[in-house]
Chain A
Amino acid sequence: MNPGAGMRLSGLLKKEFLQILRDPSSIAIAFLMPLFLQLLFGFGVSLDADHVPIALVAEAPGPDSADFFASLEGTHYFAPQAMANMPEAEQALRRGDVKGILRLRANFAREIRQSEGAPIQLIVDGVDANTARIVIGYVEGAWGNWVTLRATRRGQDAHSPVTLQPRTWFNSELRSRNFLVPGLIAIIMTLIGALLTAMVMAREWERGTMEALMVTPASMTEVLLGKLGAYFLLGTGGLLLTVGLAVGLFEVPLRGSFWVLWGCASLFLLAALGMGLTISTLVRSQFVAGQIAILATFIPAFLLSGFIFDVDSMPPVVQAITHLVVARYFVAIVQTLFLAGNVWSVILPNALALALMATFFLGVTWRNARKRLD
């Protein structure tokens, strides 16, 4: 760096901060948006089905059917609704009022005492396959309890040949919020990184200030560093806010080291800001930069990062594509850091990938930001 670079850089940084302060929309993007999104998603997004409405149809009500249905009540899993007959229940299912129907046929009480046992019909609404599967799981659990209970009451031995003894690590109650909230940090910061920077270079071009900057002794590297430095600090502020909310409000345990999280988040921010700067440098028009930012950030980060859909279950081609999504690496890191701890075998390769992406995007920006107008 040539002499005077320090002064120029501090001047540029000061300018970026003043512009940020004067323009409430940057502040809104950096602080209000994470707050708003985190609250909305933290409360709004959950895969845990509670109080699933389910129709109970006993075609010949009696003590046996009542005994079985009693096993479904008193849990937070179901909100059972007794219905008189199947047409009524089917109508409710079609309307979406209930997610499933449990039907005990008229001869339930007789068959239950025969050796093959009685069939219990469970019909689920398969449109939302995931919820359907959860409902089936809940019903199976309730049914298993009922079988055991009934056998014990009769002094019989009713255990199945092999019993399943699941032990879930890291998230023993399987709270979906525990994995969604850390992932959200990655999604929100991708959005913010791109929004903050996607338009800043294009704006300097459109307002003609770029030409004035270019004729000063400041090099393009200094101009870029000024922008990166200011938005990096702003982004770090937003990041701290989201992490604070995750731990403080949503009670997600942070089992790994805060400083490791800090380090990885910085790498991630550099990559996300770098992506925004790249878009901004390459197109020079706010309109197109805006369109690309809409397309290239939120939905890919939402669907392809492993935030909600398991990357390993995607076809190989799609898995290859996910490697281009910056958020993917950070989602892996935050989910592990929050729930599992400092697992270096997960953190190191992903952090390396983030560092490479940051280098790539910043390199592209730097190469394209020449001090020439043509």
Chain B
Amino acid sequence: MWSRLLALIHKEFLALLKDPKSRTVLIVPPLIQLLVFGYAATFDLKEVRYAVYNEDRGQAGRDLLARFTGSDSFRQVATLQNEAEIAPRVDSREVLVVLHLGPRFSADLLADRSPALQVIIDGRNSNTALIALNYVRNVVNRFNDDWTAAHGLRGPPARLETRSWFNPNLESRWFFIPGIIGMLTLLATMLVTALSVAREREQGTFDQLLVTPLRPAEILVGKTVPGFVIGLLQATVILLVATQWFHVPFAGNLAAFYCGLVLFLASGIGAGLLISALSATQQQGLLGAFLFMVPAIILSGFATPIANMPRAVQLVTLIDPLRYFLIVLRKSFLEGAGFALLWDQFWPMALIGATTLVLAGWLFRHRMY
């Protein structure tokens, strides 16, 4: 029995890795994708482009603007001379933010009349707009604090002291890179499994397998092992790149992390094989893979929090294995969670994996075509 299984596993690996095109597809893209996506997936803005429309000639106004010039987060690309210049610059996306100081800005400030800094912001991407506005607010707040102190004014009766747990500098890359690990792992399992049974059905080799003494359970094991091995290897490499190259801290328990990974692989492979076992042709397999993968990623909380979704959609996310794995990843990386905190994520993945794998194995013999 063991030699039968080994032979099956060997065959599955050969079927995947023998074709150089197929081999390249499995090995090269994940690495490139991690690097590219690792840099791409961030909500932190780098060098917000802004223009200044300064009608004021005073020193105080210049001091405030100097705070922007001196900040790493901002890059001034234009100085405007009149109001008509604002619209074209914003429309064409040349600048994201326009800072407008009215003619009496410095005078009002010195007279303690609380002048307004008008900020015009391109709201096409509302998230970028919010973040940029936050940056502006930070600069202005610091200026205000310094001004208050320097001029001996009375400050507000209470002030906010903000601390951020797990990610002190609020680097959104720390949030997204663990997510990318989950996404790429899901992608790998789909590539390995979604077409595998459908291809054998199309080529007639599946019948040949079914008339050998191999049991459906053995065929199932043969088809899952390459997915596990490739998924584990790939996730490990990605983990190393994430911690060593992107310097995302890994605070958690490795054993708990790998336990979560194995359970996630089981559920991803199960879903892939189920899709494949249901399809009579590779075309259907591909379509099925997309129909599973796209919602699985969107609804996993990868980029947009599940908490922001409507109730009904939140219920749908409960059957998305990636949802659970992303929590495992983020808690392992940033919060240093161990088995105790992750148990709630483990059992749903185990349940999804067991259900899909058993169904897929059952379909091997019972799907008519």
Residues of A within 8 A of B (CB): 25, 28-29, 33, 37, 40-41, 43-50, 52, 68, 93-96, 108, 111-113, 115-134, 136-137, 139-140, 143, 147, 150, 158-172, 174-176, 178-179, 191, 195, 198-199, 203, 283, 286-288, 290-295, 298-299, 302-304, 306, 308-310, 312-315, 317-318, 321-322, 332, 335-336, 339-340, 343, 345-346
CB contacts under 8 Å to A, within B315-340, are 316, 327, 330-331, 334-335
User: Which B residue's beta carbon lies closest to that of A290?
Assistant: B286
B93 at the interface (CB under 8 A from A): yes
For B290, list chain A residues within 8 Å (CB): 191, 195, 294, 298
Please count the residue pairs between chain A and chain B whose beta carbons lie under 8 angstroms apart in the complex: 333
The contact of A47 among B116, B127, B161, B313, by CB within 8 Å, is: B127
Query: Given contacts A49-B307, A162-B144, A303-B40, are A122 and B126 in contact (CB under 8 A)?
Result: no
* Chain B residues, CB < 8 A from A118: 157-159
Q: Complex Cα distance A131/B160, Å?
A: 18
A309-B41 contact, Cβ under 8 Å, with A164-B137, A295-B29: yes
- Asked if A313 contacts B46 (CB within 8 A), the reply is yes
Residues of B within 8 A of A40 (CB): 295, 298-299, 313
Pair A124/B162 contact, Cβ less than 8 Å: yes
Determine the distance from Cα of A37 to Cα of B170 in the docked complex, in whole angstroms.
Answer: 31
1/0 per residue, CB under 8 A from A, across B283-296: the answer is 11111011101110
Q: A123 and B163: CB pair below 8 A?
A: yes
Complex Cα distance A119/B144, Å? Answer: 17
B308, A49: Cβ atoms closer than 8 Å: yes
- B170 and A133 contacting across the interface, CB-CB below 8 Å: yes
Interface hits, B213-265 → A, CB 8 Å:
none
Q: How would you classify the secondary structure of chain A's contact residues: helix, strand, loop or mixed? A: helix
Q: Is the CB of A147 within 8 A of B44?
A: no
**A174–B123 CB distance below 8 A:** yes
Q: How far is the CA of A341 from the CA of B91 in the complex (A)?
A: 9
Q: CA of A339 to CA of B187 in the docked complex: distance in angstroms?
A: 33
> A291 near B114 (CB under 8 angstroms)?
no
Q: Is B45 positioned at the interface, with any CB of A under 8 Å from its CB?
A: yes
Question: Which of A127, A164, A191, A290 sits near B282, CB closer than 8 Å?
Answer: A290
Supplied contacts A195-B287, A287-B22, 14 more A-B pairs, CB within 8 Å: A45-B304, A94-B335, A94-B341, A139-B162, A161-B151, A161-B153, A162-B114, A198-B286, A290-B285, A309-B41, A310-B125, A312-B46, A313-B42, A339-B124
For A291, list chain B residues within 8 Å (CB): 22, 25, 191, 195
- The docked-state distance in angstroms from the alpha carbon of A267 to that of B114 is 51
Query: Which residues from 179 to 201 on chain B have a C-beta closer than 8 Å to any C-beta of chain A?
Result: 183, 187, 190-191, 195, 199
CB closest residue in chain B, given A68: B158
Given contacts A40-B298, A164-B136, A171-B123, contact A127 B310 (CB under 8 A): no
Nearest chain A CB to B209 CB, angstrom units:
18
CB neighbours of B25 from chain A (8 A): 288, 291-292, 295
B residues 27-53 in Cβ contact with A at 8 Å: 29, 33, 36-37, 39-47, 49
Residue of A nearest to B64 (CB): A162
A-B pairs with beta carbons under 8 Å apart, 28 shown: A29-B287, A46-B308, A95-B341, A108-B158, A117-B155, A117-B159, A118-B157, A120-B158, A123-B163, A123-B165, A126-B167, A130-B131, A158-B156, A161-B147, A161-B153, A162-B64, A162-B114, A162-B140, A165-B117, A166-B121, A166-B133, A169-B123, A191-B290, A294-B190, A299-B187, A312-B47, A313-B46, A340-B124
CB-defined contacts of A147 to chain B, threshold 8 Å: 156-158
Assuming A161-B144, A295-B25, is B40 touching A288 (CB within 8 A)?
A: no
Is B148 among interface residues, defined by CB-CB distance under 8 A? yes
CB distance from A23 to the nearest CB of B (A): 9
Chain B residues near A290: list those with CB within 8 A: 195, 282-283, 285-286, 289
What is the distance, in angstroms, from A102's C-beta to the closest C-beta of chain B? 9
> Which chain A positions have C-beta within 8 A of B39?
314-315, 317-318
Which A residue's beta carbon lies closest to that of B309?
A44
Q: Provide the bound-state CA to CA distance between A117 and B153, in Å.
A: 13
Interface size class of B (residues with CB under 8 A): 35 or more
Chain A residue, CB-CB nearest to B101: A162
When the two chains form their complex, are residues B157 and A117 in contact, meaning their CB atoms are under 8 A apart?
A: yes
By a CB distance below 8 angstroms, the chain A residues around B36 are 304, 318, 321
A322 to B211 alpha-carbon distance, docked (Å): 50
Question: Across the interface, which residues of B come within 8 angstroms of A287, CB to CB?
Answer: 22, 195, 199, 282
The answer to whether B64 touches A294 (Cβ under 8 A) is no
Among B39, B42, B136, B291, find the residue whose CB has the most chain A CB atoms closer than 10 A: B39
Q: Are B119 and A127 in contact (CB under 8 A)?
A: no
* Neighbouring A residues of B305 by C-beta, 8 Å: 47, 49, 128, 131
The interface bits of chain B over 92-121 (1 if a CB of A lies within 8 angstroms of the residue's CB, else 0) are 110000000000000001001011111111
Q: Taking A47-B308, A168-B121 as contacts, is the C-beta distance between A119 and B159 under 8 angstroms?
A: yes
Judge whether A163 and B117 touch: CB under 8 Å. Answer: yes
The answer to whether B167 and A48 touch across the interface, beta carbons within 8 angstroms, is no
- Is B76 an interface position by the 8 A CB rule? no
* B40, B155, B183 pick with most chain A CB within 10 angstroms: B40
Q: Are B330 and A175 in contact (CB under 8 A)?
A: no
